[in-house]
Each structure stands twice: as C-alpha cells, then as structure tokens.
Amino acid sequence: MKIKYNMLSAALLIMLGGMALTSCNSEGDGFDFNKNGLLITGTEKGNVQKFTVEDTPSNYGITVQSTKKVEEDVNLTLAIDNSLVEKYNAENGANYYPIPEGSVELENSNVVIAAGKAVSTSSMVKVVSTENFEEGRSYMIPVTIKSVSNGMDVISASRTIYLRISRVLSFHHLSYDAAGSSEYHFAENLQKTLTNYTIQFKFYSNGFGGVGNIKRPLSVGGSKDGDNGDNMWRFGENGSAGGDILQWVNPSGKQFFSNTHFAANRWYLVTCTYDGSEFKMYIDNNSTPDNTVSASGKNTYLNRVEIGMSWGGYNNSQYFSGRLAEIRVWNKALSVSEIATGLCGVDPKSDGLVAYWKMDQSEGTIILDKTGNGYDMDWNDTWRADYERDNIHHTDYGKYLHWVIDDNNKCAQ
C-alpha cells in the first residue's frame, strides 16, 4: 500500500524556506525539496558533515526524516558502506580513506518513522578506537539508507551522509637559528623536472618587519638549461602591500603576491600549484585561490631546498623568525578537495607525492623525507655562499636546527 501524506508542518515549511540547500558534495549542488520522499537528516545542508573525535568512544546520532508526515510506520535499515568512499573521491577529486575495520560501530541500524511523525528514531555511529588510524590519512564514514518499507522513495541526493572524521592533532616543528640558513642539494639521480606540480608548507611567524624588511622562510627547486624554475617565498618585498604579504617568486616571471595579510602567532598551510597554464596559491583549506597568474609551458627543477636566505650575508637580515612544518612536493596540481584533506598531514604514500618533510621528529640533523623516495636532507651536508659573488662552500649547520612541540602546535582536521 502506498503511504499517504498530510500537509507539511509549519516547522518544516520554515526550515525549507530559510535554508540554502545543497546536496551531494561539500561544493554544493541544488537540492530539490519539491520532491516527496526520505532523506538522512542533515544532508539538506550538505552531504559531508564533520564528526569530531577527541576521545573514544565518540558518538554521532543519525536520523531519517520524511518531507511530510507519514500516516503509517515506515521501517528503514541503515548501514555503513565503505565502498562509497571511493565513489565520493572519484566524483569530487578528494582523497579520503574508509575508517579502519574494527574502529567504528553502527548501533540501532533499524529505525522507524512512526505514524504521524516526520523524523525517525535514532541510530548511533560510534568510533570505538583510533588505534589503527594511519598517519596523515583523512577518514570518512558513509552511512546510507539500505532499505525502506512500504515502497517510499528516497531522495537520491540525500540517501547517504558522509561523516568526515575531525581530530585535533599535536605535531613537532622545525625552527632554526639565523646561522643555520643554508641549502641542501639532492643527488643527481634524485633531481627531476616537474611540469605540473604542487609545493606546500606550513609556517608560523613570530612577527613581520614591514615593507623592505624581508623575511625569507623557504625556497624549493631551481633552474635547468637556462630556464627560470625557482620557487621562493618571502615577506616584506618592495612592491607588496605590507610586510605581512607573502610573495611567491615562481617560474612565471610575473609578480605574485598574496591577497591575504597574514597574522603572527598562528599556523597557516600555503599551497602553490601549477597545472601547466596557471599558478595558483591557496591558503589553508579555502576552496578559492588567494591569487592566480597565467603562464603556459613553465616548469620547475627539483634539485635543492633552501631554508632561510643562504647567500650574500643575508642570513641574518632576512632571517624568518618562526616555525616550519609539512613541506611537500607533488608531481601534479592538487585539486581543492585534495588540499582540504591535507590540512594537518597527508599519507606518505599518496599518489603523486614526490617528497614529504613532515618535520615531526624530535631530534637529529637530518630532515627526514617520509615518502621513502630518498629526499632526506642532512643539514651537516649543506651549501652556502657567505658573500655576494662568492662561491658556495660546504657547511655543517645541523646544530642550528631545533625540533619543538608545544601547545601552539595543534591542528584540527
């Protein structure tokens, strides 16, 4: 027998009229509430919802609602379907992982919308352990409507809710004395040309010095065969709007300044991508580029990493007082969704990840590459030119590296 519907309740009318409704992904597609049917509560705001897990067990309540009150009981079965994570990634260019087996339970998978009601009884998603969570992975739990009694329709865009696991993670960082500014050169067999690429790094500044008072945290890559392949970042360059504006000197040869004014005493993730035609900078997990410059046919040559300003006696005057972590080099331009999932870290075995200096260590003079691809950097085996027009010379500056973890080093996924 088909279910008969009453008029929409006043409360539901208010809800539907006041929301900007989106459906199957976090970027948002139109959700059509003119359809009659069933949906998982919350998906009218977006199918991806944050599930904060600080301790275990952690619980997330799930209900199903009808767009109209029902006159007969409606029985539904819910399930966790990890195969939908791969489907979501393919449709959205994301890089989520299904939660490890044994880490999650679904309690009360059979729910009921009672006659005269529009919302079901509750089911409970319970994360019981994070012991098998792997470093750098962002996890997702898809909870979907598997079956419905009485032949009621399910609004397809809202059949599944994707619970994105959010944890607050603590991490180490690298800081260095001005005397430790230097650059590491990779072995020839590791050097490579990147035609499409992404470079990411996290930084925390203790303060900025104003225009003309340059602070230079990092440089990655270089040139080959006369091409300009440098990627260098600095604050305070003349022509910028302020000392808290970040300049990216990149192979486009064009002026590139951030629109963001950065604040001291907080962490940022900077992501710089090149897809063969455009250079883009993203700040944190914002989906809109902070700035974009068009330039076709450019590339970078991964042959070195420089921390600080290592030549011409500028190591002191251009010293970046702050912290560095999560330096990553990819051989592709990351998508917006991939950037969002890597705010706190990435899987060292991620597709396209060439080198990953997570800087999560607590000691040592070697900045370890987590990928296993061989890009470890021994700061007792670096190079620097102390004066302009001077030849570079070998340096052993490992003693100037410092590994620190404190209450400021926390990241919320």
Identity (one letter) of the amino acid at 250? N
The pLDDT score that the predictor gives to residue 176 is 95
The pLDDT score that the predictor gives to residue 34 is 53
Identity (one letter) of the amino acid at 274? Y
Question: What's the CA gap between 53 and 128, in Å, rounded?
Answer: 10
Nearest to 413 by CA among 171, 132, 125: 171
- 86: CB partners within 8 A, 6+ apart: none
Nearest 10 degrees: Cα torsion 375, 381, 383, 384: 130
The pLDDT score that the predictor gives to residue 10 is 33
Q: How far from chain centre, in Å, is Cα 312? A: 36
What secondary structure letter does DSSP report for 335? P
The pLDDT score that the predictor gives to residue 133 is 94
* Per-position DSSP letters for 358-394, written without gaps between them: ----SS-SEE--TTSSS--EETTSEEEBSSTTPPPEE
Q: How far is CA 292 from CA 206, 208, 259, 278, 342, in A?
A: 27, 24, 10, 7, 21
Cβ atoms within 10 Å, residue 148: 18
The pLDDT score that the predictor gives to residue 155 is 94
Residue 204, SS3 per DSSP: strand
CA-angle at 287, arms to 286 and 290, nearest 5°? 65
The pLDDT score that the predictor gives to residue 223 is 79
Which pLDDT tens digit goes with each residue over 72-129? 999 999 999 999 999 999 999 899 999 999 999 999 999 999 999 999 999 999 999 9
- Which backbone phi and psi does 49 adopt, to 5 degrees? -125, 145
Residue 35, SS3 per DSSP: coil
Can you list the residues of the chain whose pLDDT is less than 70?
1-35, 226-227, 389
The pLDDT score that the predictor gives to residue 41 is 96
Question: What's the CA gap between 384 and 5, in Å, rounded?
Answer: 77
The pLDDT score that the predictor gives to residue 28 is 41
- Which backbone phi and psi does 393 adopt, to 5 degrees? -135, 160
